[in-house]
Amino acid sequence: MAAVTDNTRGDMTDPPGGRSSAPRAGSRSTETWKREIIRQLKHRDRNQHAMYQDLIRFYTQLLEKSSMAKGILSCTSRRPSSDSSNSLSSLLHQNNQLKKTTGELAYQVVELQQQIKIKECVLEEQHASLSEAERLWTGAFNARQELQERVAQVQEENTALKAEYDALLQRQSQAEAELREGKVRGGHLLEDMIHMKQQAAARMNNRNERRSRAREAHLQKELQSAARSKVTIDSCSSAPTSRSTSPKSEEQNESNERGHTRLFRSASATSPRILSSIRELFHRKRRGHSVCSQEEDLMIPVGFCLSARVPARARQVLEAHEQGINAVRFSSSSDLLATGGTDRVIKLWEVRGGSLSHRATLDGSTEGITCIDFDPAGSRILAASYDKSALLWRLDNSVPKLTLTGHSRKVTAARFSTLLHQVVTGSADRTIRLWDLQRAACVQVSEVASFCSDLVCSENCIISGHFDCKIRVWDTRTVGCVQELPAQGKVTSLDISSDHRQLLSCCRDDCLQLVELRRRSNERMCFRAEGFKCGSDSTKAVISPDGCFLAAGSADGAVYIWNASTGNLETRLPDKHSSSISAVAWSLSGEYVVSVDKSRLAVLWSDF
């Protein structure tokens, strides 16, 4: 603005003369141009004052210098020619300086423009990054809202599930209470049923005793009346009494006397009426509640083994059952073998010439077989089952002849007693029961404090093994435990020697224990071997028929045989079983040993 004022003043102080009109017109146009430039510059300064402040300052100076140069030139043109030569050089010098200054200013203007463009690019990038950040922030905000909505929904679902869980927990508590009440009622009903059966058995026993005493009294009366009556004996029907009897008839009479035992020495005992009465008495006795036939009552003599032979090799390996085998037993004649497993059947095998051939299959059990036993005559077979019962078969019939029910849990052991028509069972319900086969009823119950795993029978006593590491001896006459023998661990099986002098027990601590029963000290010997391991809670071990060896199957699939007198391992029979051996049986003839396992295999071993 100062430059503009100076130029105006210069124009107004021009020298007087007639030639001043043209310069004045030029000065007006110059002033109009300046005002326009100033107006634009002010407008630009208002818009970009901070950015172009330096440029405006330099440009204003340039305009001032340019205006001064034009004023000087105009003054010079109005001066006399004499002064033009002197001032021309100075004007040219000033013009060069102005051009130089103008170039520098233009260069600075270009540089500033480039810096402006760079800053504008940076500003655009910042705007773009700001937009991207705003977009990301918007997405994150939306995701946060969605997550909050999801959290609220999950909380609602959790609240509903918690309410359902509380309701289910309450129903479960009610169901458990009802179950406990049902178990209590079931226990009471079972006790009532057992009590009723015991009462029924006692009433039946009393009735049978009264009938027996009545029959005996009636028979005594008939015998007394027959003894008082006179009987005429014909010569053809009676034995000759004269000395002229032939030797042949005497030998026949002697043989008859040896073959039959006379109940009465009186001649009246041969009366047809007495014989018919005695015959009818025995027939009535057998027609009662007996499930045994006359042939079963006869005790067939059983052979004994003088010397058992230690097996050396496998004679036959076969898949005896469709599932695992739990029990194996030889008959008293050693020519018949029985196996029972979890497939709910018992299979009978004939042993001939060192091989096993299938003879028959006995079914009727609803669950797996746990134990097998032959009667001394070899005509019947008894089995314990998981279905809480014991079953009795005749060997000529595949249908069970008798089913003994009364246990509340699985039956783990079933044996024929030394008394005729009696069997003993042991169960997981911690009871031992004595059964009368003639009446198909339980006549004695012994409660135990532990799970019964196996049992054997001796004269007037029952020996049972339990999971509380004890062996108990029960007297059947006093119905009580008379002795407790400690064991090394959980008892899995028991076996008694043929002379009833030694008891073998197999325990879960991988040890066999042999106890002397006839000595008060109950001396015992333990048998162990490297590699032998009791495979399950029902592993069965046996004594050889002569009592010289012990045999048991191991979890590694091998049969271990010990010498009973020395305690040393006699032999080990490997490589035939691929799984744990569950039971071993030794034939009464001493020739064969059979081992069975959980993988359906049965192996026949012998020494030849």
For the question of whether the overall pTM of this predicted structure is more than 0.95, the answer is: no
| Nearby residues of 231 by Cβ (< 8 Å), 6 or more positions away | 267, 268, 270, 271
**Residue 392 to residue 438: CA distance in whole angstroms:** 12
pLDDT band at 454 (very low <50, low <70, confident <90, very high): very high
Task: Give the distance from CA 401 to its chain's centroid.
Answer: 37
Reading the block at residue 125, the tokens are: 């990038």
Least confident of 246-260, 438-452, 474-488: 246-260
pLDDT in tens, 42-72: 887 677 666 666 776 777 777 777 777 776 6
Least confident of 281-290, 423-432, 584-593: 281-290
* pLDDT for res 15: 44
305-312 average pLDDT score: 80
Mean predicted lDDT score pLDDT of the chain: 79
- 246 in a structural domain: no
Reading the block at residue 128, the tokens are: 């773009």
Nearest to 385 by CA among 421, 345, 418, 349: 345
* pLDDT for res 26: 56
Q: Provide the CATH number for the domain around residue 582.
A: 2.130.10.10
Distances (CA, A) of 407 to 115, 470, 473: 105, 22, 21
* pLDDT for res 298: 44
- 370 in a structural domain: yes
pLDDT in tens, 148-183: 999 999 999 999 999 999 999 999 999 999 998 888
- 601 in a structural domain: yes
Place of tokens 């035939």: 576
pLDDT band at 572 (very low <50, low <70, confident <90, very high): very high
Instruction: Tally Cβ neighbours within 10 Å of residue 445.
Output: 15
**Residue 501 to residue 523: CA distance in whole angstroms:** 11
553 and 584 Cβ atoms separated by less than 8 Å: yes
Phi, psi of 448 (to 5 degrees): -120, 160
Helix (H, G, I), strand (E, B) or coil at 164: helix
574-603 average pLDDT score: 92
* pLDDT for res 27: 60
Helix-helix angle 2-12:21-48, to 10 degrees: 170
Nearest to 190 by CA among 394, 405, 372, 383: 405
**Residue 250 to residue 265: CA distance in whole angstroms:** 18
| Nearby residues of 296 by Cβ (< 8 Å), 6 or more positions away | 375, 377, 379, 380
- 3 in a structural domain: no
- 67 in a structural domain: no
**Residue 345 to residue 557: CA distance in whole angstroms:** 23
Nearest to 571 by CA among 315, 310, 308, 309: 310
Phi, psi of 437 (to 5 degrees): -70, -25
Least confident of 39-48, 184-193, 415-424, 545-554: 39-48
* Residue-wise DSSP of 513-555: EEEESSSTT--EEEE--TT----STT--EEE-TTSSEEEEE-T
As a whole number of Å, the CA-based R_g of the chain is 62
| Domain span including residue 532 | 313-606
Nearest-5° Cα angle at 382, 378 to 387: 165
Helix (H, G, I), strand (E, B) or coil at 446: strand
Which H helix or E strand runs over 352? strand 346-352
328 and 348 Cβ atoms separated by less than 8 Å: no
**Residue 364 to residue 359: CA distance in whole angstroms:** 17
**Residue 272 to residue 498: CA distance in whole angstroms:** 45
Q: Number of structural domains, the chain?
A: 1
- 177 in a structural domain: no
- 462 in a structural domain: yes
466 and 450 Cβ atoms separated by less than 8 Å: yes
**Residue 351 to residue 338: CA distance in whole angstroms:** 11
Nearest to 580 by CA among 496, 487, 491, 508: 508
* pLDDT for res 3: 39
Place of tokens 């030029």: 26
pLDDT beyond 50 at 282: no
pLDDT in tens, 215-239: 888 888 888 887 776 555 443 333 3
* pLDDT for res 306: 62
* Rounded (to 5) percent helix, strand, coil in the chain: 40, 25, 30
556-577 average pLDDT score: 92
pLDDT beyond 80 at 291: no
pLDDT in tens, 88-106: 677 777 777 777 777 788 7
3-state secondary structure 302-346: CCCCCCCCCCCEEEEEEECCCCCEEEEEECCCCCEEEEEECCCCE
- 141 in a structural domain: no
* pLDDT for res 415: 95
